Structure 1
Amino acid sequence: MAGRNILYRFEVWNRGAGGPRIDALRADVRALGIGILRSARKIALYFVEGELAPEELSLLGRFLFSDPVEEVFEWREVGRGGRRGQPDAALHEGEGLAVDREAASERIVEICRKPGVTDPVAIEVVRAAHELGISGIKRAATGVRWELEADWLDDAALSKLTRVLLANAVIERWEFGEIEPIFPEGREQGLAVEHYDLAAMNDGELLGLSAKRRLALDLEEMRAIQAWFGARGRPATDVELEMLAQTWSEHCVHKTFKADVEVRNSKGRPYPPVVHGIFNIYIRKTTEEIGAPWVRSAFVDNAGIVSFDGDWDISFKVETHNHPSAVEPFGGANTGVGGVIRDVMGVSARPIAATDFLCFGPPDMPEDQLPQGTLHPRLIARGVVAGVEDYGNKMGIPTVNGAVHFHPGYAANPLVYCGCVGLAPAGVHRNAPRAGDRVIVLGGRTGRDGIRGATFSSMKMDGSTGDVAGASVQIGDPIVQKRALDVLLAARDAGLYDAVTDCGAGGLSSAVGEMASALGAEIELSRIGTKYPGLSPWELWLSEAQERMVLAVPPRHLEAFAALCSRFESEFWDIGAFRSDGELVLRMNGEIVLGLSMEFVHKGLPRKHLVAERSAGGTHGGHGNPDSVKYSGDVALPADAKARFLSLLSDMNIASREQVVRRYDHEVQGGTAVKPFAGPYGDAPSDAAVLKPQGTDGTWGIALSNALRPDYGELDPYRGAWAAVDEAIRNAVAVGADPERIAILDNFCMGDPGDSAVMWALVESARGLREAALAFGTPIISGKDSFYNEYLGPDGRRHAVPPSLLVSALGFVPDVKRALTSFLKKPGDSLWLVGDFRPVHRQESKVPEVSLRACEVYKAFFEAVQEAEVVAAHDLSDGGLAVALAEMCVGGRLGARVALPDSAMVDASVPVLTLFGETTGCLLVEVGAGHEGSFSARFGPGLALRLGEVKAGPAMEIHGGGGNAGCGAGGPLLSVSIDEMLCAWKGDAWKGDAWKGKAREVLP
């Protein structure tokens, strides 16, 4: 065997049949109408190449590839005369084999990564094998084998099942039989720098070049580049063009938010003829006017920073990873989490919590209703959730707050919001590199994954996106990032660097380009550590390979920094130095391939001129929700009110999210005081998370919450934005946060900003955000925008997301021991509705009015919490008062008997609106016995209404009329048992049918 490499194939499978993933596959197949699977088996594949002894192969199988308690493995050599798709004659079975594997199944599908797509598990296999002393492994690859049985599985059906549910054609390839691994291969490339004589190009040729290289630059921008190089009398290199396209991309420079926007048809709204920069006028200015002294940094660093207790600072950032998640859900979400964690690392903080908000198309959408070329929402949802789970869990960061929302407008364009919170000693972050500092890349190696991701995210998607965007897909490796984090924190405490930033969208081009914006830098690209040879200079510079940080390290600290990297087993590369003349120079093996002025790179972009106009047919030019207009006119409660109420509880946007949340570790690090679920059975939904950051003294904690109202935003973007701000703040207040010590983040997701209706929705949303933040005195400390969330179908139809503004809130809880949860606690306690209760029906295309008294209500509520008058609280949101009360009852397994006071009834004959209508600014509160008087006295007239009390009985009863007595005339309007509500609200978990949901049908 000496002197030759042999390829070995390992197969690993569970001893028992079935399991959650198999059950989920069978449910998906059934739900999509493909057929019914008789049986299915999933087998993990590992391929290793090298010179290995039998005992080493056995060690790999037993120690690295399988769990001997639950799994079985076997291995064989590949290519020793065995026919393709047939068992090899030289088969070695795993020791202790407890069950016989079926000889064959009717149909087999094997799936592996495409060439060039990062396989982090394979990388870890080689590293771990060497640690075990198995040095003969040269390279590795992984895959999966599915063995399926069903009568209907012909080639066409198997192809459809594989394409829709098993594999992603963007990053994976498959065979109906045994597959051969393809290992990453380098290519001979040399410098391979292309030159473009821009001065000789006409307008059509400039646009053609932009399209050919996927620069996502318009004619005015291409002309600006042409003029700059023309003035210097030289051609542009491909490296220079790619860097300018990255820096000037919508994703990186936010040119829509900086544009001059002409506002037309404003119909009396307070707009000037031209808005000179949405960001400056509606966002930055808002925070400056509020002037909260505890805000340390806003819109300057990778994340917003606020003071926690004087000794510690808290940082918070929320990002989106929408386009990547549309074409590769697992990788898109996985690297979205990894990227936002690096944002917090980029302000020298230790990540202490992660958040997410996920928006998908309806999971039961028929495939023939999907735009051609898109993945099914069911597959997207499953991949995204798995990607979020994978990264945070492996890095030991709790995912403590989030949501899942379904809407037809997200079918072709999922939205994946990922957030991270960090903790650092006060004032420790350094962000000023000095001339002479070394440019250090820490963490992962560079490959072709993520190429042009910044420009990809600045373009519309269509049926060809998956084919052309494969290189834009990033694959994460959280273990590598964890090692880099350990180095970074130790280097921070030792004072070894002058500045740090993350390497995200745009790769080193963005990270070094921003860090060197005032100084310039000189870089030798050949020093960059790569995953494989053969990357061209522009690929090295633009690659968005994950898990990389860039630091400015003084030369005197290099030795100490290198020692830290060795200690934590993290790689680093010294690729150059910062200059002092504002020029950026890149070399490849000594030859200059880029020479740009930082002044032009960062200030040469022409200012955009856009138009915002209210369209006659709606608020934006994208997808409307047909289910939002179902009913006109109020009616009395229907005879089948109970059935309709239970249907409402099982609505896909109201039903329990426990199936998703339980996949995330929300308690690692030991600081989670209020978890996503609470109550005696651990299934009561929390309005927000509360954390006591480990390492801090005192009683202070932080609350994390979020809100997004696309259903409101597509009807009225201004009110939708206000409602999102109000709900995010209300959720934080509901767990005990001080309403005068809350900061918020904004994340705008819209369609094409070239559409005047989309721009109208944007300026209205930004105005609503500003006015709500000013009303609450809540500073905005960070934000992000994502445009071009549209899909162009082959029929020419645009599929755009509804105007989607996510508001995330970071609140401060004075005493975590007084933090509140939502479930009912004690029979005999009274139940109160606080707030300006003015519900509306969404089915009437109405959006709740702005509650100008909400700030007053939240302050009074907070005072009551500090005096221990409040036992539990829950916000009124989707489904209104009845749903909020049901969730409190279900969470505590206690009943309630309430009446609707006349002052709360919109119309005494129309309880439907009172029960199920939606409003802003309201909370449902359990008040401890003996505190009713002091509690109600804190609120202004009409802002605190006693509804009834908590009961030990197993039912929720709602009566009409009867004032405060809790027992109206006649029988109850609605009486539902705890078990019935549990079955409706948690039916998914109880029935094991993931992503099941019913349409909202409360009204006739």
Structure 2
Amino acid sequence: MIYRLEIYPTVKDMRAEVRKKAFAELVGTPIPELTIADVYTIEGERTEEQLVSIKQLLVNPVSQKSRWIYKSFQESIELPQFDWVIEVGYLPGVTDNIAATTTELIGDLPGSDRSSVYSSQMTFIKSDVSEKVIQILADSLYNPLIQRVIKKSFNQYQTDQGMELTVPRVKLQPQSEVTRIDLNISDEALIQLGKQGIANNDGSRRGPLALDLTYLQAIRNYFNGLRRSPTDVELESIAQTWSEHCKHTIFADPIEDAPEGLFKTYIKKATEEIRRKKGAADICVSVFSDNSGAIAFDEEFVITDKVETHNSPSALDPFGGAITGIVGVNRDTLGFGLGAKPIINRFGFCFAPPDDGTQLYRDKERIQPLLSSRRIIGGVVAGVNSGGNCSGIPTTQGFMYFDERYRGKPLVFVGTVGLLPAKLSLIQKKAQPGDCIVMVGGRVGLDGIHGATFSSEALSTGSPATAVQIGDPITQKKMSDVLVKEARDRGLYRSITDNGAGGLSCSVAEMGKESNGCVVQLEKVPLKYPGLAPWQIWISESQERMTLAVPPEKWPEFLRLVTSRGIEATVIGEFSNSGRCMVTYQGETVMDIAMGFLHNGLPQRQLVTAYPYIERNVNEIPVQSDLTEIFIAITGRLNTASIESISMQYDHEVQGGSVVKPLVGKGRVNSDATVVRPLLNKNKGIVLSHGLYPRYSDYDT
């Protein structure tokens, strides 16, 4: 049975007011009336009593009214006046956080099970605009990569007796076959394999491996030495591990005046030199070796810091890319040592101006348009908002910078500061042979496949929709709390890292370096839905997951603890000292690669610099006695204007430590620095600031 619960406001709804204003700006004509209704579609058998209880959970009788629709039954209520209705929901398999929370709530009702719930939203529009305009409005509400949309006129709605009972259930054909990939092919075919991925039976390609010819030749030589072809699991795994996203090869490979690479020559060497000069005054605790860096806060605590970018995913799905970025860097904090507590979030956005109407495309045929700058800005801001606010982490520091050259791809910086007791036993971690490989948190789905390799290349027509995932901050918050507030201090695990880029293929293999080997049984990995192939399970980047090394004798206690907190944990294998990364699926070995080759087998490439000629026109600045108009013009620039509207959306007071706020002074201007007191019983603070000057390269390359 399929049940549909529609919830309508009975008081003024500010969501509708904001959307009405946005619609009017988009099409240049006012929208007289607009109503937003929330929809929950529920599968399973329900009694009348349960339907009443579900309403009591989801509907506020003071400000909302609702109706159930199922079979041929419709509860009668007065609907808003409208000429058109647009409904937007998620595509099958896309993370639906509202639905996930609702599923849990309903499952807690007496006698109820956790049947599937799907959320969507209807927008009722009262206006005599044309269907073409309605299509423009509908397009502004959804992203076809992750969402579905249905629009109906009033007459069609009446004829159909409402909207369809749509269930976006994932339906996959079971895929257990493991493919052998022949690499003894021409260079042209190898290049195509690297750019477009492994071929499917129907001739389509899986998506980019981001492996160039040099890398693929090295892989071919390795497997020729073993006298066999690699499996698709092995090739996909190497692609994740060797990706620019994971290995930062552009910084690591030799370049003309830096034979050891840019990273070792300019970043690492400079840091080591500063630390050497500081001697005993050096405050660095961990540098270039863990998921975050760390410095001493005082004698009792260390603070960690990590900033990363989520540019390509945010260009495809601004909300999903941004929320995945912020919750991902939260997990990097959890993955430092044996787990630091996230205490501060920060952000930095580089966009094209919101009124930039330039239309760009991902393909030469101009069939796949990139999202508008205004759409990207709104989605990114909302994504960081949701990820931080729902995780209970204050967002205290950030910036926004505009330049038309970000039209093709925005820069989305997200960062997290963490706090950890300064005990060596909590900072150092090492998986031991015999430890259980435990996956904690969310389940694995198709979302996030090829995220690491996709983000290592330029956006193109082949950029896969599956590379975009949406984080679930509620699940991650529960996981974070049980790990850093309970399991860590009970000594229930020896090592931890996050399932970010490359999913299990990277997290397990990275931790396998600590013990010098691992064995994974893929059929034990919990899935969101059946039908995933072994390679998909291994490299999926489905969110809110951590990988831990749990001693066998600690596993029962660990499982009881996390289960009692509503978090799933599963043993999927064992760390070893075999020197190999081995993966099996239903008894068949699908991956068997030496750890040394997996992590260090990629060849170095000699990079060559090319200095672009930039014509610089230096004009004399005329002397003016009255600079008033110039001053007013400068204050009106996007890069000078306040970002108060952004800062005020982010909760900076949660956890209670904010001292110097994001907005200061009578004019509530954005502060150059913020101060947070991480420990409320100490008068010590963390000062955060930032700097950005991309135009410098316009004048000095």
Whether the TM-score (by the shorter chain) exceeds 0.5 is yes
1:690 aligned to 2:675? yes
- Structure 1 pair 367–59 and aligned structure 2 pair: CA distance change class (3 A): farther
Number of the residue aligned with 1:237:
231
Unaligned stretches of 5+ in structure 1? 1-5, 81-88, 94-99, 263-271, 620-628, 717-760, 762-1004
Shift of 1:634: 1.9
User: C-alpha displacement at 1:136, in angstroms?
Assistant: 5.0
Quote how far apart the aligned CAs of 1:287 are. 0.8
Cα-to-partner distance string for 1:609-661 (whole Å, 9 max, x where unaligned): 22112212369xxxxxxxxx8x832223365x434423322322122211111
1:679 aligns to 2:679 (yes or no)? no
String of CA shifts for 1:710-760, please: whole Å, max 9, x gaps.
Answer: 2233333xxxxxxxxxxxxxxxxxxxxxxxxxxxxxxxxxxxxxxxxxxxx
Q: Percent identity?
A: 37
Distance in 2 of aligned mates of 1:540 and 1:646: 57
Q: Residue 698 and residue 402 in structure 1: after superposition, are their counterparts in 2 closer, same or farther (change >3 A)?
A: same
Give the drift of 1:168. Answer: 0.6
Task: Give the secondary structure class of the aligned counterpart of 1:708.
Answer: coil
CA contact (8 A) 2:581 2:592 kept: yes
Equivalent residue of 1:611, what SS? coil
Residue 36 of structure 1: how far off its partner (Å):
3.3
For residue 395 of structure 1, give the secondary structure of its aligned residue in structure 2. Answer: coil
* Greater RCO, 1 or 2 (C-alpha within 8 Å, sep 6+): 2
SS in 1 for 2:695: helix
> Which residue of the partner structure matches residue 313 of structure 1?
302
CA contact under 8 A between 1:129 and 1:137: conserved in structure 2?
yes
Query: In the alignment, what sits opposite 1:503?
Result: 499
Q: Distance in 1 between matches of 2:23 and 2:448?
A: 32
Pairwise CA distance, 1:306:
0.4
Q: Which of residues 447, 450, 463 is equivalent to 2:448?
A: 450
The one-letter code matched in structure 2 to 1:257 is F
Q: Which amino acid letter does the alignment assign opposite residue 433 of structure 2?
A: A
Q: Determine if the alignment matches structure 1 residue 173 to structure 2 residue 148.
A: yes
Say which SS state the counterpart of residue 488 (structure 2) adopts.
helix
Q: CA deviation at 1:190?
A: 4.4
Partner of 2:136: 160
| 1:309 Cα deviation after fit | 0.5
Cα separation, partners in 2 of 1:229 and 1:618, compared to 1, 3 Å: farther
Secondary structure (helix, strand or coil) at the match of 1:403 reads strand
For 2:240 and 2:361, the matched residues in 1 are separated by 31
In structure 2, C-alpha distance between the alignment counterparts of 1:648 and 1:160, rounded to whole Å: 34
Structure 1 residues 88-128: Cα deviation after superposition (integer angstroms, max 9, x where no partner): x62254xxxxxx532x4112211111112122222222211
Tell me whether 1:208 sits opposite 2:192 in the alignment: yes
Q: Shift in Å at residue 533 of structure 1? A: 1.1
The one-letter code sitting in structure 2 at the alignment partner of 1:637 is Q
Correspondences of 1:3-152 after superposition (within 5 Å): 6-17=1-12, 19=14, 21-33=15-27, 35-64=29-58, 66-77=59-70, 79-80=71-72, 90-93=74-77, 100-102=78-80, 104-133=81-110, 135=112, 138-152=115-129
Counterparts of 2:79 and 2:624, CA distance in 1? 58
Distance 2:76 2:108 in 1: 24
Offset of 1:370 from its aligned partner? 8.0
* Runs (4+) off by over 4 Å: 367-372
Q: Is contact 2:82-2:127 (8 Å) kept?
A: no
Q: 1:205 to 1:685 in 2, by over 3 A?
A: closer
Whichever residue aligns with residue 112 of structure 1, its letter is G
Aligned equivalent of 1:296 = 285
Q: CA RMSD in A?
A: 2.0
Alpha-carbon separation, structure 2, partners of 1:124 and 1:187:
24
Q: Distance in 2 between matches of 1:252 and 1:137?
A: 37
Shift of 1:261: 1.4
| Alpha-carbon contact 1:118-1:475 (below 8 Å) kept | yes
Q: Distance in 2 between matches of 1:567 and 1:560?
A: 11
The aligned residue for residue 196 of structure 1 is 181
The alpha-carbon distance between structure 1 residues 137 and 545, as it changes in their structure 2 partners (threshold 3 A), is closer
Q: 1:782-821 CA deviation, whole Å, 9 max, x = no partner? A: xxxxxxxxxxxxxxxxxxxxxxxxxxxxxxxxxxxxxxxx
Contact 2:67 2:74 in 1 (8 A): no
User: What secondary structure does 2:656 align onto?
Assistant: coil
Contact 2:495 2:549 in 1 (8 A): yes
| Letter of the 1:170 counterpart | L
For the residue of structure 2 that corresponds to 1:390, the secondary structure is helix
The 8 Å contact of residues 340 and 420 in structure 1, kept in 2 or not, is answered as yes
Residue 242 of structure 2: aligned partner: 248
TM-score (normalizing by structure 2): 0.91
1:565 deviation in Å?
0.7
Which of 621, 625, 636 is the aligned partner of 1:634?
A: 621
CA distance in 1, matches of 2:226, 2:682: 61
Secondary structure class of the residue paired with 1:587: strand
Deviations 1:456-503 (A, max 9, x none): 1011113x25xx521111111111111111221112111121111111
**Matching residue within 471, 479, 486 for 1:476:** 471
Query: C-alpha distance in 1, partners of 2:479/2:615?
Result: 48
C-alpha distance in 2 between matches for 1:643 and 1:12:
52
Aligned-residue offset at 1:61: 2.3
Question: Would you say the 8 A contact 1:34–1:161 is kept in 2?
Answer: no
Q: For the structure 1 residues 391 and 368, does the alpha-carbon distance in structure 2 shift closer, same or farther, using more than 3 Å as the test?
A: closer
The correspondence of residues 582-981 of structure 1 with structure 2, limited to 5 A, is: 582-617=579-614, 632-637=619-624, 641-679=627-665, 683-694=668-679, 698-716=682-700, 761=701
Say yes or no: does 1:413 pair with 2:406: no
> In structure 1, what is the equivalent of residue 341 of structure 2?
350
Secondary structure of residue in 1 paired with 2:327: helix
Letter in 2 for 1:396: G
Of residues 477, 480, 492, the one that matches 2:488 is 492
Change in 2 beyond 3 A, CA 1:148/1:370: farther
What amino acid sits opposite 2:8 in the alignment? Answer: W
Q: Distance between the aligned counterparts of 2:76 and 2:53, measured in 1?
A: 13
Secondary structure, counterpart of 1:260 in structure 2: coil
Q: 1:26 to 1:410 in 2, by over 3 A?
A: farther
Distance between the aligned counterparts of 1:575 and 1:368, measured in 2? 47
Please give the alpha-carbon distance, in whole angstroms, between the structure 1 residues aligned to 2:638 and 2:24. Answer: 18
- Separation in structure 1 between the aligned mates of residue 265 and residue 431 of structure 2, nearest angstrom: 30
Alignment-derived partner of residue 513 in structure 1 = 509
Residue 609 of structure 1 aligns to a residue whose secondary structure is coil
Contact residue 90 and residue 168 of structure 2 kept, 8 A: no
* Structure 1: distance between partners of 2:615 and 2:310: 27
SS of 1:485 mapped into structure 2? helix
Tell me how far 1:670 sits from its aligned partner.
0.7
Aligned equivalents of 1:54, 1:454: Cα separation in 2: 48
2:44–2:115 Cα contact (<8 Å) kept: yes
Aligned to 2:158: none
Q: Using the alignment, how far apart are the partners of 1:368 and 1:355 within structure 2? A: 30
Q: Matches of 1:137 and 1:432 in 2, distance apart? A: 38
How far is the alpha carbon of 1:680 from its aligned partner? 5.3
Any idea what SS the aligned residue of 2:115 has?
strand
Gaps of 5+ in 2: 153-162, 198-207
- Mapped contact 1:351–1:422 kept (Cα < 8 A): yes
Equivalent in the alignment of 1:864: none
**SS of residue in 1 equivalent to 2:397:** strand
* Larger Rg computed on CA atoms: 1
For 1:326 and 1:131, the matched residues in 2 are separated by 38
Query: Residues of 2 paired with 1:458 and 1:587: CA distance?
Result: 28
Deviations 1:572-616 (A, max 9, x none): 010111110210110111111111111111111011222112212
Would you say the 8 A contact 1:618–1:715 is kept in 2?
A: no
Instruction: Tell me the amino acid that sits aligned with residue 401 of structure 1.
Output: Q
